[in-house]
Amino acid sequence: MKISSSLGIRQACWAWALLFFSVMPGWCAALQAGIAETEITPPPGLPMWGYSNREGPATGTLDPLYARVLVLEVGSQRLALVTVDLGRPFGPASLDWLRSATHSDVSVIIVAASHTHSGPSIQDEYPNGTPAWETSALKKIAQAISEARAHLTDARIGIGYGFTLIGHNRLRVNRDGTVSWFERNETRIPTAPVDGTVTVLRVDTSAGQPLAILVNYACHPVIFGSDNLQYSADFPAAVAKTVEGAFESKPLSFFLQEAPGDINPYFAVTPLEEDAVSIRDRAGEMLGREVVRVAKEIHPQTENEPDLSFSEERVNVHLRWNPEKWREAMLAVFGPTAGQTFPSRSSAEIQLPVITVLINKKIAIMTMPGEPFVQYQLAWRERCPVRGALLVGYANGYDGYFPTIPSATLGGYGAANPATWVEIGAGDRMLDAAVISIQRMLGRLPDVPEDLRK
């Protein structure tokens, strides 16, 4: 009887221990990561995104378009980061479908476009229903998220920084205060503001093998101009090829477009007859080599208390212009294809989705649903309460350009033209929301006054 009693006590203790560990907070669980990749290249014959003066639909494929998926998990917190070789993210209905299709796999999804101008046209709404290629792409992405979730492995993450310039500020401020369009800069004349910072995240398995390499950089993928009628990811394709080829284990390379609202590559809109493909490759290889250099110097360490936190918010803003006059201006500037590039707005109020992510209390990511000017990424790094700060534009929506307040007063493309339709200061408000969110995740903004805390 004594042996039986002792055994019963031990079994009870094990049962309590199992229950205790099963309900421990997420910070006691390991960081896990999983990756997947799927091709989403549409068939030829579709209208292309990004240039209103493009003559004709897509005729073929120069290089495939991909969706790449990174799933991160700590305990019950699970995030899917999806990068797509597209000009902009999918519209609200398509994103809602993707969330619904993957709700059992992940808690939050970030869909971030590279902003290539050699991808298919995407709209918020389609008069004749969602195109078949987009429906197919969404299903492939949902499957890729499930695949990445099913292959999670213990992981660790590190961050590093480099520097290279492959572009310039395309809004040149003249001595008289006017602004000129500075599309190409073949002589590489210094411009400002511009930011050559290359931020690299390296995700390794617990055995130290690179699983994913993420590059956060700001530059419009517009080396190909409107004469190109073939699908292409532009220079990010060459970045991925360079990065993945430099590691024997072939980690998956992700391009996270930063804040290039006023940044063009030096050799923008190069005609195909002037060897645009080689110029595209050289620009991508230049950036890719710097990514490889930085990535090889990153040595991710296992965290004793890994943590993954995220927040989704909606920043309410107003339409910047008179709605009727804005629509007239859009038709006058962009013609009947305006709706293919820029969404129609039936309401004067707009909700801007902003997602903030905090990894291990050290790496912070904020998203903006459009084209922020480069100064916003500089401001985010300065104001973010943790050192590792990434801004991801073109994420979970598309609401045109987000110029800074000074840029809006100066004018120019993306600062005061019809392609900018949210009210002035929207970028600042999104930045404020992200800073507050990260501070709250760090526990620095309690939900009760100081005098009432116990």
Mean pLDDT of the chain: 92
Angle at 431 between CA 391 and CA 222, to 5 degrees: 40
Total of domains in the chain? 2
Phi, psi of 149 (to 5 degrees): -65, -40
pLDDT 10s digits, 379-410: 999 999 999 999 999 999 999 999 999 999 99
342 has pLDDT over 90: no
Final residue belonging to a domain, choices 273, 297, 321: 297
Q: Which of 427, 374, 402, 409 has the alpha carbon at shortest distance from 173?
A: 409
47 and 191, same structural domain?
Answer: yes
Is residue 20, in this structure, part of any structural domain at all?
no
Asked if 49 and 120 touch (Cβ cutoff 8 Å), the reply is yes
pLDDT at 325: 82
249 and 229, same structural domain?
Answer: yes
Final residue belonging to a domain, choices 241, 264, 297: 297
Is residue 1, in this structure, part of any structural domain at all?
no
284 and 321, same structural domain?
Answer: no
pLDDT at 323: 82
375 and 240, same structural domain?
Answer: no
313 and 268, same structural domain?
Answer: no
The stretch 204-232 carries a mean pLDDT of: 97
pLDDT at 250: 82
The stretch 119-144 carries a mean pLDDT of: 96
Is residue 134, in this structure, part of any structural domain at all?
yes
The stretch 251-255 carries a mean pLDDT of: 97
User: At 326, is the pLDDT very low, low, confident or very high (cuts 50, 70, 90)?
Assistant: confident
Rounded CA-CA distance 375/105 in Å is: 36
User: At 286, is the pLDDT very low, low, confident or very high (cuts 50, 70, 90)?
Assistant: very high
248 has pLDDT over 90: no
pLDDT 10s digits, 93-104: 999 999 999 999
pLDDT 10s digits, 43-57: 999 999 999 899 999
Cα-Cα-Cα-Cα torsion 130, 132, 136, 137, nearest 10 degrees, comes to -60
pLDDT at 331: 80
368 has pLDDT over 80: yes
pLDDT at 249: 74
243 and 327, same structural domain?
Answer: no
Measured in whole angstroms, the distance separating CA 123 from the mean position of its chain's CA atoms is 18
pLDDT at 252: 97
Asked if 43 and 133 touch (Cβ cutoff 8 Å), the reply is yes
335 and 213, same structural domain?
Answer: no
Asked if 368 and 399 touch (Cβ cutoff 8 Å), the reply is no
Is residue 240, in this structure, part of any structural domain at all?
yes
pLDDT at 337: 63
Q: Which domain holds residue 238?
A: 26-297
Final residue belonging to a domain, choices 264, 297, 330: 297
The stretch 254-271 carries a mean pLDDT of: 98
| Residue 361, amino acid | K
The stretch 225-254 carries a mean pLDDT of: 96
Is residue 12, in this structure, part of any structural domain at all?
no
Cα-Cα-Cα-Cα torsion 385, 386, 391, 395, nearest 10 degrees, comes to -90
> Tokens 């918020």 belong to which residue?
124
Is residue 5, in this structure, part of any structural domain at all?
no
386 and 256, same structural domain?
Answer: no
pLDDT at 1: 40
Report DSSP letters for 357-421, one per residue: EEETTTEEEEE-SSEE-THHHHHHHHH-SSSEEEEE-SBS----EE--HHHHHH--TTTTSTT--
Helix H, strand E, coil C: the string for 358-374 is: EECCCEEEEECCCEECC
Residues of the chain with pLDDT > 70, as a percent, come to: 91
| Residue 440, amino acid | R
Rounded CA-CA distance 221/267 in Å is: 10
Is residue 9, in this structure, part of any structural domain at all?
no
325 and 285, same structural domain?
Answer: no
Residues of the chain with pLDDT > 90, as a percent, come to: 82
pLDDT at 218: 98
pLDDT at 150: 98
Is residue 280, in this structure, part of any structural domain at all?
yes
323 and 196, same structural domain?
Answer: no
340 has pLDDT over 80: no
9 has pLDDT over 50: no
pLDDT at 24: 40
pLDDT at 154: 98
The stretch 183-209 carries a mean pLDDT of: 97
pLDDT 10s digits, 412-448: 999 998 889 999 999 999 999 999 999 999 999 988 8
23 has pLDDT over 50: no
Helix (H) and strand (E) counts in the chain? 10, 20
237 and 312, same structural domain?
Answer: no
325 and 292, same structural domain?
Answer: no
